[in-house]
Amino acid sequence: MNNQYLLDHLRVIPDFPQKGIQFRDVTTLFKDAKCLDIMEEELYELYKDKGVTKVVGIESRGFIMGAILAKRLGAGLALCRKPGKLPAEVISQSYSKEYGTDTIEIHKDAITEDDVVLIHDDLLATGGTIKAAWDLVKKFNPKKCYMNFIIEIRDEGLHGREFLGDEIEITSLITV
Enumerate the domain spans of the chain: 51-175
Determine whether 156 is an active site residue: no
- Give 174's strand partners: 151
The edge-to-edge listing of strands for the beta sheet with 144-152 is: 76-80, 54-58, 116-124, 144-152, 169-175
Peptide bond between residue 60 and the one before it cis (omega within 30 degrees of 0):
yes
User: According to CATH, what is the number of the domain 51-175?
Assistant: 3.40.50.2020
Catalytic residue among 40, 41, 45, 61: 61
Predicted confidence at residue 98, as pLDDT, reads: 67
pTM over 0.75: yes
Average pLDDT over residues 74-82: 98
Mean of the pLDDT values across residues 15-26? Answer: 88
Helices 62-73 and 33-47, packing angle to 10 deg: 60
What does the pLDDT look like over 98-142, one tens digit per residue?
677 899 999 999 999 999 999 999 999 888 899 999 999 999 999
- Per the annotation, the verdict on 24 as an active-site residue is no
pLDDT at residue 157 tops 80: no
Backbone φ and ψ for 71, nearest 5 degrees, come out as -60, -45
Determine the Cα–Cα distance for residues 133 and 128; give it in Å rounded to an integer. 9
CA torsion 123-126-127-128 (nearest 10°) is: -120
